[in-house]
Amino acid sequence: MADRRLHRHQRGDQFRLTALGGLAALSLDALTSVAYGPESIVLVLITAGSAAVSWTLPVTMMITGLLAVLVLSYRQVIAAHPDGGGAYAVAKTDLGRWPALLAAASLVVDYVLTVAVSLAAGAASLASAFPILNGHLLLVTLVGLGVLTAINLVGVAESAKVLMGPTIVFVAATVAVIVVGLSRSHPVAVIGDEPGPPNITAVVGILLLLRAFAAGCSSLTGVEAIANAVPSFRTPAVKRAQHTELALGALLGALLIGMGLLIDHFHTVPRGNVTVLAQLTAGAFGTGWAFYLANLSVVVVLALAANTSFGGLPVLLSLLAKDHRVPHAFGMRSERPVFRYGVAALAVLAAIVLTIVRADTHRLLPVFAIGVFIGFTLSQAGLVRHWRRLREPGWVWRAGLNGFGAILTAVAGVVLLIEKFHEGAWLLLIIIPALLFLFDRTERYYRGIAKQLRMGRVPPKPESSSPALVLVPVVTISTTTELALEAAMRMGGEVRAVAAAIEPGSTKKLSSQWKIWNPGVPLTVLPCPNRSLIATLVGYVRKMSDEGHHVTVLLVQVDTPRWWQTILHNPRGPFLAAALRTRTDAVVATLTVHLH
């Protein structure tokens, strides 16, 4: 296994993404948004009556126009920031510290909710085909999350190979639904509970259309994932990522327009216990095998759509770790190469969110979409300043394009925040500031540590005037005692064996045996009136340090051949080591003795 891992590490670039692999691994969140984005538009328009649903296509065209702006913008983000990070990288470079922290917070929320929304929508689609699952949506989502986490711990490039087949099937099935559906004069089958009389609470006007536009912009989530994960691509990473971004925009735009046309063609309105996409599928194919195949393909890719977060959030966290804004462990790659701490953190947070909302997609979408718009707006606003600063040929139209996109996404985000405030969007007013506080405090902590340790400065030459003293705690004479003394003598300096007189009889016997053995190392018996080995040894180490000795304590640790055998050994070693590290200035060394 070790040889295989080393071989993989040496072939590292082969475990990164091609353009086609990137489309499968990083674009599923955006592509599968056709399962809930158009439905979000219909749910807003239906409040003005069933006739208002005919506005679905015009609203979809507006969203597709914004999609085109975003795709062009993020191609520029990829070129300007090839290290990944998306909105965070742009804001940090062009807007300053606090906008960068805001972008990072919004991206973290976006990535976590991408996983939750994708899995919840997948469970809803599965229940549309198999109604018996309606009461078990949370269990379905958690199982999908567990499988996806395991795949990504193997490595994103290998998971891309796993995702390729389902992605092709999903896209082909969705295109088939659109083409076949548009060729029908009327739906082949109608599924779902009969809708009651519409509860008309609005009229068609600019505000309603803005609300529908904002709700439908959930279809744009995931457009930024490719820009956030540029380092995951093979060389040349920038070109491959740009090609993938363009392919994503073209494919997603075609699917959204096709869905809008089909909703208008079938006059589809929301019905109970089924999704709008499931209704369109039944209208195109009926309820035979093609219906179940199409729905199952949607379920599979919605479950796998969360892979965009597993590809993007660990990279973002690694950038934040490099900037000292999250724990440095998030910047560590494993040999796959995978940011495993980021993958694990994402899985835990997504599981918590799914459990809280009981896998209800519509409870997640308000917070989800607003978080996305924050990142969109900051990213494009940052590029406006970027082009103004560089003033390269063509900078005016580039800045104008990004500025126009920033205004559109800002307006959509504000409208959605106002309209969905009481439906859960208010949570962002707590979550985002909490993340900003966390990032800020973490950075302050690392700055304080760097100042205290004088990191970045050339220190004076180390002094070695203090005499070295190596202490070896012993309880009995055995092979481990012999090995410990040999190791201590190889370390240099004076070596002493120390024993605490907890039980006078045992200590007297040890002293007698020591004289007979005569290993060439003196045994010091420490008085122990409180009968505590830890307190006695800590006190002695402090005394030796006060006398000017540079103290090293060598502890013996036994490694058993089977994990369960560890509990059969005395665990005082780790407690003693912890006490010495926290309560003294001694160097604590460990000698591992392997048992067979």
Do 2-446 and 468-594 come out as alike in CATH topology? no
Beta-carbon neighbour count of residue 466 at 10 Å? 13
pLDDT for residue 252 is more than 90: yes
Using one digit for the tens of pLDDT, what is the confidence trace for 442-455? 999 998 888 887 77
pLDDT for residue 560 is more than 70: yes
Taking the C-alpha atoms of residue 554 and residue 548, their distance in angstroms, rounded to an integer, is: 19
Beta-carbon neighbour count of residue 348 at 10 Å? 13
Are 111 and 314 spatial neighbours (Cβ–Cβ below 8 Å)? no
Which single residue is written with the structure tokens 């660990």?
314
Alpha helices for 185-325 (secondary structure H)? 206-216, 225-228, 237-266, 276-285, 289-305, 307-322
Q: What percent of the chain stands above pLDDT 70?
A: 91
Using one digit for the tens of pLDDT, what is the confidence trace for 482-539? 999 999 999 988 999 999 988 888 889 999 999 999 999 999 999 988 888 889 999 9
Using one digit for the tens of pLDDT, what is the confidence trace for 62-90? 999 989 988 988 888 888 778 765 688 78
pLDDT for residue 115 is more than 80: yes
pTM (2 decimals)? 0.75
Q: What percent of the chain stands above pLDDT 90?
A: 25
Instruction: Reply yes or no on domain 468-594 having CATH 3.40.50.620.
Output: yes
Beta-carbon neighbour count of residue 252 at 10 Å? 25
For the structural domain made of 2-446, what CATH number should be given? 1.20.1740.10
Residue scoring higher pLDDT (251 or 23): 251
pLDDT for residue 7 is more than 70: no
Query: Where is average pLDDT lowest: 183-187, 372-376, 465-469, 512-516?
Result: 465-469
Sequence spans of domains, the chain: 2-446, 468-594
pLDDT of residue 160: 59
Q: For residue 218, which phi and psi values (nearest 5 degrees)?
A: -60, -20
